[in-house]
Structure formats: structure tokens, C-alpha cells
């Protein structure tokens, strides 16, 4: 079990206690433990075994004992008791915009609203009208947020699905009758949000025997995924030709559907070819559409690799990340697909945080992690003064940090350190620091962190005002979304892209797994407008330095090449593009 999974359990305990109205010190103890554990560079299990876990301030015997229990069983009694008492769906109340801990407590304890369905009924029936502390505007916000959350109900962000995939891989690896397997569908396309997990399994012997063996293994393997076998009645495959294929249907991770396709070696690649794309993409491929609809056999595609299948269809190979939209089919037929950016193309990270603001690790340790990644340059961009909850730097602290970064750069070999800041874009579009201060920075990332309820016109004007500031180089996480939790704030993205193009301002793909902002639909528009993209980690700890992989996934799904991404360029070219004297 990973640290992040232990952290999630403690965070959920804190949230349930908040809704229940328990003492604040209990809530804060679980919140602090969750934050500490999520930022640890070492595994909790290793720290416990070495007797070092309680050396972290905020980790006491109670937390250690519960962590041991979670490592052994996948959960803990305290968590299960709260779930049994309150229901896991109560957590959804705190995901709504306009609902804080106090409001969630009123909904749950005073009004008997236990989940989103209860809330939907209360809104429709007018039950919330006139409730103290919940005004008309709050009701509108809650209603809009409820619609958004229902849209994403049952989904998981990619990072969570990849963790689940690792657990499923362990099960499949231990099954002797499984010759090979590959994840397909949403996970193989690396969708930011996945609605299911699909796996193609090549059976080494009889398919039915393999199916029975896997069903037994899944049925007995309950931790940490809590696997439930589900054989749906009257199942209809999304692609008719796949109906005869043997399948296993199950739920994991409290309701995420998993489909396992079982086939022989001759069909493995063709089933992978059929299950990776969206139906819209597959239907756009000439000749495949007719075969699928008529349920005809694709026997001519047996014993062929995917590359060979595409070649037989008169197309160049389409990378899995591009198998969502039909337009890539046209490009493949014309042999015009872009050469997608690769993970090792990134030369630097231009948005990171340290313990000078709300980061978990000191600057030296973050730099060491960057050196380990073999980066050429690395920007320190701690929060600005308005981000008070993030311990943002006032002018004096920023000037002190600039000096410190330059000193550290002089004695650090193998990488160039850049002094920067993630500067808050204030309500009126002005920035936290004066131009005089901004002029001393190597990198300026400007981001919105507050006042999300402005109108579309106000928010658009606000961000464009920042773009027009000559010292702003990058706009961070433009739409403010949190995947499956917070919708984009109202903003006219095409207008923003136009302004960015006019001012040579870079837009960011933020690698935080909960953000991945911008999304591919906007990144594609930016590319068409000639706007460069920066793929950044927004790392607040050493483990989060690996977030670049998620950012590159988005870039690939957007059809970006190496040349479309700012931080693939050598430092000297970066200087020229930003028109800044970076040293």
C-alpha cells in the first residue's frame, strides 16, 4: 500500500469527523498526519520498521498504530466505524462548492442530508430555502456544483487508476494461466479522468479455465481493492464484434468498474486495437466500422501487431493517447501525425515550491531531486504574499529568497537555478508585487488562487490584464479546475489564448494529478494559435517531482511535439523566447 492511500484514509476520517461536528483538535490531528504522509519521500512501512515514523512532528502512537493496521488490512477500524455510521457518500458533501465544514454539518446533522441524492431532493423540494447561513447565491453555487459532481460520479482521476492498475497487475502476475496482459481503454489513452479500467488478457491455455482461475483469484483478493465480481445480465458490448469474447466484470475501489477481456494469442493485438479507442474514434476508421457493426470476424487481423493492423488498414500507427478523437484518423491516413513529445524531452521545471512557502521540503532537497532527474534548469516559484494560507512571501522575504537562490546556484553543479515566483493575480488583474520587484525575477508564473465566483467577463479581463504585464511569462493552471471536484471558473479561454498569442505569454499544463490544467481541448487551441506551452510539476515535495509524467501525458493527448513545449528548449533558447536575462 502506498503512502498516498494511507493519507487518503486519514483525510477521509478528518472529513467525516468535520461533518459529524467532532472536536477540532481530533480533526486537525488526522489532517496533519495525512499531509505529512502524502509528502514523505520514504514509505511509511519502511519508516515504521526503522522506528523513525514517530520522529515526524504530528505523527504519534495513535497514528502509527492506525497506519500499521492500514498496511496490514487495507483499512482501519476507526475509518470503517465512521463509514458504517455515516456512509461513505457523506464525504461528497464537502466536495461541493459553497459547502464548508459548518454547512456540511448543518446539512447532515440538522437536515438529515446524507448524500448527493438527498441534497438533490432537498434542492428540488425547496427544503433548503430560508436555512440560516445558506443564501440564494450559495444555493445557486451548490446546485451548479451538484450537477458537476454528478457528471463525474463514479470516476477516478488517472493517478488513482494507475495505482489500482498496479494492484491488479500483481493479481494477474500471479496467475499461471495468464500469458500476457495490457491495460486498455481509458487507462491506455491516459485520460485525465477514467470511468473504468479495461484489461486485455492473453490466456496461455484454455480460455474458460483461465477465466475460472482469475474469478477465483479476484474473489479471494479483497485488499486493498475490495474486489466484487459482477456478471451483468444482458450485457451488450460497446463494440458488437467483441460480444463473443469471454469477459470478467468486477468492481474495485468502492465501485469502479473493471472489464477483463480474455483471448488467445492470435487475437490479443486485435482486441487491444479494438478496445483502446473511443467508439467515435474507432467508427472513423474506414472499413473497421462496417465490420464491427455487422459483427463480422476480423480474422485477417489475427496474429498481427497493432502497427501491422494499422498498416493493413492503410494508416500510420496512432499512439494510444491520440485514439479519442476522429481527427487523428484523418492524419494517420495522410501520414501527417505529429511526432509527440517524450518524457525525456523536458529539460527543466518552471513551477515548483519549497518550504519557504507551503512546500514540504527545503530548497536544497528539491534541487537535489531535480539533479537526479537530470534537468538542465529548475525554477523556484514559491507563493506570493496574498496566498497567506500557503505562507506566501512578502516583498522582503522574496528579495531574501532571490539572493539565496543565486547563492545556491553558484555552488550547485550540473543545473541552473532560476529565481522565480508564482504570483497571485488579484481580483482587478494586478499582481502581488510591483514591476520593480518582478523585474528581478528570472521566472514569473501568474495564477488565480482566489475570487473564483467572478463573472466570465470579469475573470477574463482579470487574467488578460496579467498577460499584458510585460513581466508575466507563464499563466499557471488557467481554468482553476480540480478534476471531479471543482469545475472551471467562468472564463473565456479562446479570448485568453488570443491574448497570450498577442503578448508571447506561455500557458501552463500543470502536472498536479488533481488539476492537469489546461486540458487537451484548450491545449490544442493554444497550439493552433501559436502559443507555447510549459509542462510544469507545481511540485510541493520531492515525490511530486514525478508529476511531470502526468503533464507530458496531457501534452501527448493534445498532439504536442517537442517544439510546442517551452521547457524542452536549452537554456539559451529559453532566454531568447522569454526575452529575459536569465543567468
* Cβ within 8 Å of residue 478, ≥6 positions away: 463, 491, 493, 496, 507, 508, 517, 518, 522
Are 425 and 466 spatial neighbours (Cβ–Cβ below 8 Å)?
Answer: yes
DSSP 385-429: TT-GGGT-B-HHHHHHHHHHHHHHHHT--SSEEEEEEEEEB-TTS
Backbone conformation region of residue 74, classed left if phi is above 0, alpha if psi is from -120 to 50, else beta: left
Please say whether the dihedral angle defined by the alpha carbons of residues 418, 374, 163 and 275, taken in this order, is positive or negative: positive
Max CA pair span of the chain: 73
Question: Above 50 in pLDDT, residue 512?
Answer: yes
* Residue 24 DSSP SS3: helix
Distance CA 177, CA 152 (A): 36
* Residue 581 DSSP SS3: coil
Q: pLDDT by residue (tens digit) across 398-455?
A: 999 999 999 999 999 999 999 999 999 999 999 999 999 999 999 999 999 999 889 9
Residue 76: pLDDT band with limits 50, 70, 90: very high
46: buried, middle or exposed (CB in 10 Å: 19+, 13-18, 0-12)? Answer: exposed
Mean pLDDT of the chain: 91
Tell me, what's the pLDDT at 128? 87
Question: SS3 sequence, 117-166?
Answer: HHHHHHHHHCCCCCCCCCCHHHHHHHHHHHHHHHHCCCCEEHHHHHHHHH
Count the helix, strand and coil residues of the chain and give each as a percent rounded to the nearest 5: 50, 15, 35
Q: How far is CA 205 from CA 213, 246, 304, in A?
A: 11, 14, 20
Question: Above 60 in pLDDT, residue 583?
Answer: no
Q: Which residue has the cell 519502511?
A: 46
Are 28 and 62 spatial neighbours (Cβ–Cβ below 8 Å)?
Answer: no
Tell me, what's the pLDDT at 39? 78
Question: Above 60 in pLDDT, residue 577?
Answer: yes
Q: How many CA atoms lie within 13 A of 421 on its CB side?
A: 32
Tell me, what's the pLDDT at 290? 59
Residues across the chain = 583
Q: Which three cell numbers, joined as nine digits, stand for 239?
A: 463494440
The pLDDT of 475-488, averaged and rounded, is 91
- 384: β partners: 393
Domains of the chain: 3-151 (1.10.150.110), 156-333 (3.30.460.10), 343-578 (3.20.20.140)
Which helix or strand (DSSP H or E) is residue 199 part of?
A: strand 197-203
User: What is the share, in percent, of the chain residues with pLDDT greater than 90?
Assistant: 71
Are 333 and 314 spatial neighbours (Cβ–Cβ below 8 Å)?
Answer: yes
* Cβ within 8 Å of residue 274, ≥6 positions away: 239, 241, 242, 282, 292, 298
Are 580 and 473 spatial neighbours (Cβ–Cβ below 8 Å)?
Answer: yes
Q: Which three cell numbers, joined as nine digits, stand for 50?
A: 526503522
β-strand 197-203 against 156-157: which pairing, if any?
unpaired
* Cβ within 8 Å of residue 381, ≥6 positions away: 350, 351, 352, 353, 420, 421, 422, 443, 445
Question: Above 80 in pLDDT, residue 295?
Answer: no
Are 196 and 258 spatial neighbours (Cβ–Cβ below 8 Å)?
Answer: yes
β-strand 474-475 against 377-380: which pairing, if any?
unpaired
Question: Above 70 in pLDDT, residue 581?
Answer: no
Please say whether the dihedral angle defined by the alpha carbons of residues 460, 462, 464 and 466, taken in this order, is positive or negative: negative
Question: Above 70 in pLDDT, residue 394?
Answer: yes
Question: Above 60 in pLDDT, residue 297?
Answer: no
Q: pLDDT by residue (tens digit) across 230-250?
A: 776 656 566 667 777 899 999
Distance CA 94, CA 482 (A): 14
For the chain, give me the number of helices (H) and strands (E)? 24, 14
Backbone conformation region of residue 196, classed left if phi is above 0, alpha if psi is from -120 to 50, else beta: beta
| Of residues 230 and 370, more confidently modeled | 370
First and final CA of the chain: distance in angstroms? 43
Q: 460-478 burial string, b = 16+ CB within 10 Å, else e?
A: bbbbbbbbebebbbbbbbb
Amino acid at each position: 500500500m502506498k503512502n498516498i492511500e494511507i493519507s487518503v484514509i486519514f483525510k477521509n476520517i478528518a472529513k467525516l469527523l468535520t461533518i459529524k461536528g467532532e472536536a477540532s483538535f481530533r480533526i486537525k490531528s488526522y489532517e496533519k498526519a495525512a499531509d505529512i504522509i502524502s509528502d514523505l519521500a520514504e514509505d511509511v512501512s519502511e519508516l515504521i520498521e526503522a522506528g523513525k515514523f514517530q520522529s515526524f512532528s504530528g505523527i504519534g502512537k495513535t497514528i502509527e498504530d492506525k497506519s500499521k493496521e492500514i498496511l496490514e488490512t487495507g483499512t482501519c477500524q476507526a475509518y470503517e466505524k465512521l463509514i458504517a455510521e455515516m456512509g461513505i457518500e457523506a464525504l461528497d458533501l464537502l466536495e461541493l462548492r459553497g459547502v464548508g465544514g459548518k454547512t456540511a454539518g448543518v446539512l447532515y446533522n440538522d437536515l438529515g442530508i446524507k448524500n448527493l441524492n438527498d441534497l438533490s431532493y432537498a434542492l428540488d423540494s425547496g427544503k433548503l430555502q430560508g436555512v440560516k447561513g445558506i443564501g440564494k447565491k450559495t444555493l445557486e453555487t451548490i446546485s451548479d456544483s451538484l450537477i458537476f459532481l454528478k457528471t463525474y460520479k463514479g470516476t477516478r482521476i488517472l493517478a488513482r487508476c494507475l495505482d489500482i492498475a498496479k494492484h491488479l497487475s500483481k493479481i494477474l502476475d500471479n496467475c499461471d494461466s495468464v500469458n500476457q496482459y495490457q491495460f486498455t481503454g481509458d487507462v491506455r489513452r491516459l485520460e485525465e479522468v477514467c470511468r473504468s479500467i479495461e484489461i486485455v488478457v492473453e490466456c496461455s491455455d484454455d480460455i474458460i479455465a483461465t477465466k475460472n482461475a482469475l474469478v477465483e483469484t479476484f474473489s479471494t483478493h479483497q485488499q486493498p481493492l475490495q474486489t466484487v465480481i459482477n456478471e451483468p445480465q444482458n450485457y451488450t458490448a460497446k463494440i458488437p464484434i467483441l460480444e463473443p469474447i469471454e469477459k470478467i466484470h468486477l468492481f474495485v475501489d468502492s465501485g469502479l468498474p473493471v472489464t477483463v477481456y480474455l483471448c488467445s494469442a492470435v487475437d490479443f493485438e486485435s482486441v487491444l486495437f479494438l478496445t483502446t479507442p473511443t467508439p467515435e474514434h474507432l467508427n472513423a476508421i474506414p472499413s473497421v466500422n462496417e465490420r464491427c457493426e455487422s459483427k463480422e470476424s476480423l480474422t485477417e487481423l489475427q496474429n498481427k501487431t497493432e502497427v501491422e493492423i494499422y498498416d493493413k488498414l492503410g494508416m500510420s500507427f496512432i499512439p494510444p493517447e491520440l485514439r479519442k478523437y476522429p481527427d487523428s484518423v484523418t492524419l494517420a491516413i495522410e501520414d501527417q501525425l505529429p511526432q509527440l513529445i517524450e518524457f525525456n524531452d523536458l529539460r527543466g521545471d518552471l513551477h515548483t515550491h519549497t518550504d519557504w512557502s507551503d512546500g514540504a521540503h527545503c530548497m536544497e532537497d528539491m534541487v537535489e531531486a531535480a539533479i537526479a532527474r537530470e534537468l538542465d534548469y529548475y525554477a523556484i516559484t514559491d507563493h506570493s504574499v496574498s496566498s497567506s494560507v500557503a505562507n506566501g512571501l512578502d516583498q522582503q522575504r522574496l528579495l531574501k529568497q532571490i539572493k539565496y537562490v543565486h547563492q545556491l546556484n553558484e555552488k550547485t553543479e550540473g543545473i541552473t537555478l532560476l529565481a522565480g515566483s508564482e504570483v497571485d493575480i488579484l481580483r482587478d488583474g494586478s499582481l502581488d508585487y510591483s514591476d520593480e520587484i518582478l523585474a528581478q525575477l528570472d521566472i514569473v508564473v501568474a495564477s488565480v488562487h482566489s475570487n473564483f465566483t467572478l463573472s466570465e467577463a470579469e475573470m477574463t479581463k482579470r487574467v488578460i490584464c496579467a498577460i499584458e504585464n510585460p513581466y508575466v511569462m507563464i499563466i499557471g493552471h488557467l481554468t482553476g479546475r480540480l478534476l471531479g471536484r471543482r469545475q472551471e471558473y467562468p472564463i473565456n479561454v479562446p479570448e485568453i489564448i488570443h491574448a497570450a498569442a498577442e503578448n508571447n505569454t506561455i500557458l501552463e499544463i500543470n502536472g498536479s494529478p488533481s488539476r492537469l490544467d489546461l486540458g487537451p481541448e484548450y491545449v490544442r487551441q493554444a497550439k493552433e494559435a501559436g502559443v507555447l506551452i510549459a509542462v510544469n510539476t507545481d511540485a510541493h515535495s520531492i515525490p511530486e517531482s514525478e508529476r511531470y509524467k502526468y503533464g507530458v501525458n496531457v501534452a501527448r493527448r493534445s498532439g504536442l511535439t517537442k517544439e510546442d513545449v517551452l521547457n524542452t528548449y536549452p537554456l539559451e533558447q529559453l532566454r531568447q523566447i522569454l526575452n529575459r536575462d536569465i543567468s
